[in-house]
Amino acid sequence: MDKTIDIYVNGSYLRKNHNRAGIQGEGNVTIMHIIFDESWAELAKKVTFWDSRGENPVERTLTADLLVDISNSLLEYNVPIPAEPLVHEGYMTFIIDGYAGGKRKRSVQDTLMVDAAMIANDASEPVDPTPTQAEQLQEQLKSFYLSFRRTS
């Protein structure tokens, strides 16, 4: 069963219901349920994650497939925490950015705890890397195109 962290974004400030990102070596199991206030309404959004050493940044673009209910709200997303920031135990870091018309809005930096797990030689098992932003958008466009073809 997936774990969920509720994160409320009010302006640039974050409030969350707990602080546990998951276990070292996991990936895409813990869900960040992000609810934005209206100040984020017209922005393209992304979350950037860093591991507990402040390294290996990975970005998740908040695309339509991550919306909780597209017919109800464009400000509520379920974002899986990818494997890259969960490689090392300790506090991983994340930040949320929004873009529109040459302007950038940013949340404060926040952290989530990654609990230790026994991993041989301090190396994680191989995981599929998180797709680049371009790959994420390309997949989203492909999904829209295929759903459009089915309805035509």
Q: Residues 10-48: pLDDT tens digits?
A: 999 999 999 999 999 899 999 999 999 999 999 999 999
pLDDT score for 1: 47
Q: How far is CA 34 from CA 4, 53, 61, in A?
A: 10, 24, 13
Four-point Cα dihedral 137, 87, 112, 73, nearest 10: 20
pTM: 0.79
Q: What is the pLDDT of residues 109-124, one digit of tens each?
A: 999 999 998 765 545 5
- CATH of segment(s) 3-151: 2.60.40.3350
Domain boundaries, the chain: 3-151
Residue 122, phi then psi, degrees to nearest 5: 55, 30
* pLDDT confidence bin for 143, thresholds 50/70/90: confident
